[in-house]
Structure 1
């Protein structure tokens, strides 16, 4: 919501969702873009820092909690101003919602602002055996999963709705066709799985705000084509909104796994 595309595109997205219901969430952004709040102690030259600066500072417990909280609230305000409703979920650009200080702010704000578990949170924890078996960007998948354990613990304690099972992480390098990667991501999923994708069209607006470009079009071609439907059917899967997954599993918070731990 701190990107100009949100202000320009929210009305179009609303029309699309009215025809094709889908969850629409806040992609919390704490890197590279301009903040919506003063974000004192967090910005550099009026912009949010690169992930290469934010990550080590977060792991050292050095992020300014008040600035993180205020920026989260400002982005939620901006979302609601145009959407006239809370987001269905919250996740993070470059997975920043998993980071120490950020994860506490996310959980606290959701409990304060949306009581009763109205907004679900992306849980990026995936058991190590699944990551290894898929064989796609295994070090990245294991790192993100371990990083996510703190948020998973806080989310469970707060009773927040969360997915159970997370796949889709890869390096975006040319080589292995995206379909082959996606077939791996669709295998061996958890009870309430979320698959992470980045479809899109490359235009001037995207080039101006994001370095991830061409791989988005490859993902879009696959996801909009017949091969995706074929691969879903082969695994006995179908697309669903989060509320359907909750109804199917009969619970909102993800169940504890045998392989537990956290980066705190």
Structure 2
């Protein structure tokens, strides 16, 4: 039977976001949480995760856009703030990125997760899907293969026949285009991915009215992203949407909706190849060879 993984992104973005996500997980409305370990409140907020049910998967939400990095990045973030996603996509398309800086930052965010949680993440994805961009994906996959080989990684694409059944086809196609080839790259490393992916919308629509459409066309492990929260940072452009999502999710009969779509929810926190391993930190230089390869391709 197919499984629905409903994942709340952006844990540690702010205290209000973190508290809301944990409340939803404890209420049985989520079964995955993705964490921004580079945020100032990460270590304090990570304590909240001790209260979530054991079946809820806890993952790493690699952050390479819009926030302050953990490590010095004089080329990618010369003013101390990472670029926006459009800039990163353009540079990735040209293989014009400081891969060494990016590898150091990814390792630091991995290390911050392990330091707080005492184990490797159950899965790895990226803020605004930056983890799956060309050049960056090779570094991410090498790190996952070394640090958390039984984890899975987020694939942000789906079959066109599935995407046309859901809202915002253009946004979904754009995501698929920028991350094309990611599943194949992950498979080459022996890393599992979700089978289908939904959750795209404009952060302005009636969330309650469109949520059921995110479940259409799902197969295997169907991953749906969401962004619930509360409170507001001054620079949070989707603060209103976060509140609407939280208010909707707490009321929706998620398990019943999943069942009607032919999926189990919440299910056990099992990876695609069995129980998720709880591994300690190690292999701090896993990505070195792949940084060199990426840099060589960029120069070629």
* TM-score bracket relative to the smaller structure: 0.7 to 0.9
Q: 1:207 to 1:103 in 2, by over 3 A?
A: same
Deviation at 1:79, TM superposition (A): 1.0
- Equivalent positions of 1:196-215 (< 5 A) are 196-201=225-230, 203=231, 206-208=232-234, 210-215=236-241
The question of whether the paired residues in 1 share the 8 Å contact of 2:76 and 2:97 is answered with: yes
TM-score of the pair, normalised by structure 1: 0.84
Three-state SS of the structure 2 residue aligned to 1:7 is helix
Query: Which of 224, 233, 236 matches 2:259?
Result: 233
Q: 1:246 to 1:185 in 2, by over 3 A?
A: farther
- Equivalent positions of 1:88-167 (< 5 A) are 88-114=122-148, 117-134=149-166, 136-167=167-198
**RMSD value over aligned CA atoms?**
2.1
TM-score of the pair, normalised by structure 2: 0.74
* Greater relative CO, 1 or 2 (CA 8 Å, sep 6+): 2
The question of whether the paired residues in 1 share the 8 Å contact of 2:54 and 2:269 is answered with: no
Deviation at 1:48, TM superposition (A): 0.9
* Structure 2 alignment gaps of length 5 or more: 1-36, 276-300
- Name the structure where helix makes up a greater proportion of residues: 1
1:194 aligns with 2:230: no
Cα distance in 2, alignment partners of residues 241 and 67 from structure 1: 37
Cα distance in 1, alignment partners of residues 193 and 178 from structure 2: 16
The question of whether the paired residues in 1 share the 8 Å contact of 2:150 and 2:271 is answered with: no
What residue is the counterpart of 2:92 in the other structure? 58
- Name the structure where strand makes up a greater proportion of residues: 2
The question of whether the paired residues in 2 share the 8 Å contact of 1:68 and 1:101 is answered with: no
Count of matched residue pairs? 239
1:3 aligns with 2:39: yes
Cα distance in 2, alignment partners of residues 64 and 122 from structure 1: 23
Cα distance in 1, alignment partners of residues 200 and 68 from structure 2: 26
Q: 1:13 to 1:228 in 2, by over 3 A?
A: same
1:243 aligns with 2:270: yes
Deviation at 1:142, TM superposition (A): 0.8
Query: Which of 232, 240, 244 matches 1:218?
Result: 244
Cα distance in 1, alignment partners of residues 271 and 109 from structure 2: 27
Cα distance in 1, alignment partners of residues 267 and 199 from structure 2: 17
Cα distance in 2, alignment partners of residues 123 and 217 from structure 1: 26
The question of whether the paired residues in 1 share the 8 Å contact of 2:165 and 2:216 is answered with: no
